[in-house]
Amino acid sequence: MLFDISSILADPMSFLTSLLISLPGVLLALSIHECAHAWVALRCGDDTAYLMGRVTLNPAKHIDPIGFLCMLMVGFGWAKPVPVNPNKFRSYRRDDLKVSVAGVTANLCLFFVCFFILSLVYSAAIGKLFDESIIPYVGKDALFDNWYLVGSYFIESAFGKVAGVFYDIIRNCMFINLSLAVFNLIPLPPLDGYHVLNDLVLKQDLFAQMRTQRIAGGILIALIMLGNYMPQYDIISIAINAVRSGVLNSLSIITKALAQLIGAI
């Protein structure tokens, strides 16, 4: 469920701490996503979003209240759409494709930045703990199985609680950016995935008819609500979590290589 009132009332500080840790990642993920759309549109000849002040990382220019809450509670959501006038594009369909993939690309870039920061900090932490004989050598593979989930324990042990909090903030930022990228690739209007599918395959009008957008929006809301009350049918979260786990587990080899590079293992 998105809101478990009983657990919130039972431990409000834990709930508040979780929100505060997620907040920077949510604000940055939404802002960089929409800013990228606006910036690429400007580069393609459309200054509509630029004139509205949307080429900025200022969250106040981009946040949609409902999408913002969804990002905080379930890890995927949306911001205010960037206005686009395709008649100003230099290449009608090609530039629409560029603008559509810009947000997802920005989120993936930020995901990789967070990933490399976490990998380096984690590697430094286990190297320090080994040097001080605080933890025994348990084998390379065991150290990097789901390291991104257990890493805060090693960070706190090596560098203290403050470092552990910053690690959690960056980790949440990493998770949120990857989740937002995957969510936006769903091929339903008005999400970016629909524009990509349309520009490359369907070749229909750039923007779906309002009736189609309402139906697609209703489907997305229904799926979110279904996942809220019946988690076993939370198709979106299950798919996003599967992709996220697959990507991070595949990238663990990079974390291990970084640890070897700096001499941590």
Catalytic annotation, pick one of 22, 30, 31, 34: 34
How many structural domains are present in the chain?
1
Tokens of 261: 């590079």
Residue 155, burial from CB neighbour count under 10 angstroms (0-12, 13-18, 19+):
buried
Angle at 185 between CA 167 and CA 151, to 5 degrees: 15
132 is catalytic: no
**Among 173, 128, 202, 243, residue whose Cα is nearest residue 32:** 173
Q: What is the pLDDT of residue 93?
A: 94
pLDDT score, position 230: 78
**Domain housing 107:** 5-261
The dihedral over CA atoms of 157, 163, 107, 49, expressed in degrees to the nearest 10, equals 170
Alpha helices, H only, 146-262: 147-159, 161-184, 192-197, 210-229, 235-261
Q: What is the pLDDT along the chain (265 residues), one digit of tens a residue?
A: 444 555 566 777 887 888 889 899 999 999 999 999 999 999 999 999 999 999 999 999 999 888 788 777 765 667 899 999 999 999 999 999 999 999 999 999 999 999 999 999 999 998 888 777 666 555 556 788 888 888 888 899 899 999 999 999 999 999 999 999 999 999 999 899 999 999 999 999 888 888 888 888 888 878 877 776 777 778 888 898 899 999 999 998 898 888 888 877 7
Query: H/E element holding 127?
Result: helix 92-131
pLDDT score at 212: 87
Q: Is the dihedral of CA 57, 104, 221, 225 positive or negative?
A: negative
Question: Quick one: pLDDT at residue 219?
Answer: 86
